[in-house]
Structure formats: structure tokens, C-alpha cells
Amino acid sequence: MSAPDLQPIGVFDSGVGGLSVLREIRARLPAESLLYCADSGYAPYGERPIEEISARSLELGAFLLARNAKALVVACNTATAAGVKAMREAWPDLPVIGMEPAVKPATAATQSGTVGVLATVGTLASAKFAALLDSFGQDVRVVTQPGVGLVELVEHGELDTPTARDLLQVHLAPLLAAGADVIVLGCTHYVFLRPAIEAIVGPAVKVIDTGAAVARQLERRLCASRLLADGTQPPRVTQFWCSGDTRQVGAVIDRLWGAAGAPHPLPPSHSFRSRSVLKEALP
């Protein structure tokens, strides 16, 4: 086994969205090796039962720990809301970094007094998000909008197509009509739609996300645990795994990350019911 500081950092998301966090980590911690799991075969997580997302988060965490990860980053707001507590209970000595919509900085930045949050149904319905609003949403108006369909767009590499722009228009209109001058991207996938979003909302509206803050928090935790790579050892690597169609997901990873080579296949989930069973169970 390698020295702890040479072990990789494990990162996962319901798909390719967490690459927006991975790139912040890569920029901040260039000496670290990174393992990334894109659970695209089961995306989107946002409308799935909390218990299933939590169980899948434990599966993916265990998968990354079996590959010697020294820390885990849940690069998914939805999986953090559903599963980070169970992960911290399962691995109490491990740095497990989660993420949440940037409501706190948004409330500090707004001039109009209205903040918009675009996130998945799962994140917006979570107890964690309710607690976030209780802590930071008291002095401003927070208007929320579920970004139904947006994760699927990014999973298909549709970042700035007419379809993407039309759907964004639909989701952003209520936030703009409410007077929001700061819009929080509360889903890591949405960060890849930022140019299209900014074109719709215009320069007077600030668009913010949490990726850079997560990378800083990861650095602090690794530093406190004396796990930071010092950069004097052999060059770092970045490795990818995915569920679903390896070739299709690989093509999107190449587009969003740069040539990464074909991702390795993830073992199938024991936590999620199949999509067809899920559809039957939905109202």
C-alpha cells in the first residue's frame, strides 16, 4: 500500500456533472491522483427515493475505498442530501466532503433581496435544504425552481442547443419574474450549462456554484489530516469509471474534461430498482 498522501481522492456523481467539481479539485490540488465515478446509467438521481440514493452512495464510496481512496467527495448535491450522513457514519475517520447549494454566499451577494435556487427535485425536497434555508434564508426571499430535464441534457452533451436554451428559458423565467438577481446552481450538472444560463439571465444577474468552495474544503480537510500530496512524487493520474453506455458516457467525458480515454465500467447497482420498475411506481 502507498503512503497515505500518495493515495488518490475518490469523487462520484450521478453522472458527468461532478466533473465540474473535479476540475476545481484538479486546479487547486494538481499533485493529487483522482478517481471519478460517473453513475450515468442511473441518472438522474433527483427523482429517486432517498433510501436508494443513500444506499448507492455507500456502494460507490466502498468501490472507491477498495481502490485505496484516502478521502471521498460527493460531487452531487442530491447524493449529499440523501447519503452523506450514512457515509460519515460508515467511515467516521475518513474525510467525506459533501456539497450543498450556495445559499449562504447568495444571500450575501443579492442586492434585490431575492435569490433564485435551481436544483433537483430531491435536493429541494431534502431536510438538508430546509435546514440551509432556516440558517441562511431568513433575511432574503429564496425562490426555488426544480430543473427537471436539465441533468439529462448534460448527460447527452446538450449544453447550448436550441432544446437546452428552450428548457432553460422555462426554468429561469419564474426566478427572473420573482426579481432574483443571484441564481444558485444547486446541481453540479448545471454548471456546464452556465454559458447558456448567463446568456438568458443577462449580466445584471450573478450565477454562482459551489465547486471551488468544495475544492478548498477538501484541501483544508486533507491538510488537517496530513494527507495532502506534496508534489515531489511521480506524476498524478486521473481515472474514470461509469455505469451505463461506456462509449456514450466516455464521449461526453472527453468533451467536458478533455481526452480521458475510455472509462472503466462500474459494477451494476444493488440499490436502485430498474428504470422501468421505477416508472411504474411513479404516480
Q: Which residues bind ligand DGL (CB under 6 A)?
A: 13-14, 17, 43-46, 76-78, 120, 123, 151, 187-189
58 burial (CB, 10 Å; 0-12 / 13-18 / 19+) is middle
Q: Least distance in Å: CB of 60 to ligand DGL?
A: 13
CB of 267 to ligand DGL, least distance (A): 19
Supply the minimum distance, in Å, between the C-beta of residue 223 and ligand DGL: 25
Specify whether 242 is catalytic: no
37 in active site:
no
CA dihedral 114, 120, 122, 127 (to 10 degrees): -20
Smallest gap from residue 115 Cβ to ligand DGL (A): 18
> Nearer Cβ to ligand DGL, position 112 or 217?
217
Q: Which residue, among 218, 215, 209, 189, has the nearest Cα to 100 in the 3D structure?
A: 209
Alpha-carbon distance of 277 to 163, in angstroms, equals 28
Joined grid coordinates for residue 39 = 453513475
Contacts of 122 (CB under 8 A, 6+ apart): 45, 46, 47, 48, 50, 53, 78, 81, 82
Strand partners, 144: 117
How many Å apart are CA 58 and CA 222, to the nearest integer? Answer: 21
| Cβ-proximal residue to ligand DGL, closest one | 46
Least distance (Å) between residue 3 CB and ligand DGL: 32
Q: In which element (H, E) is residue 9 found?
A: strand 9-13
**Cα dihedral 86→225→23→131 (10° resolution):** 40
Nearest CB to ligand DGL, comparing residues 31 and 121: 121
CB atoms within 10 A of CB 280: 9
- Specify the residue, 210 or 238, whose C-beta has the smaller distance to ligand DGL: 210
Nearer to ligand DGL, 76 or 201 (CB): 76
Q: Which is nearer to ligand DGL, 70 or 147 (CB)?
A: 147
- Residue positions annotated with a catalytic role: 76, 187
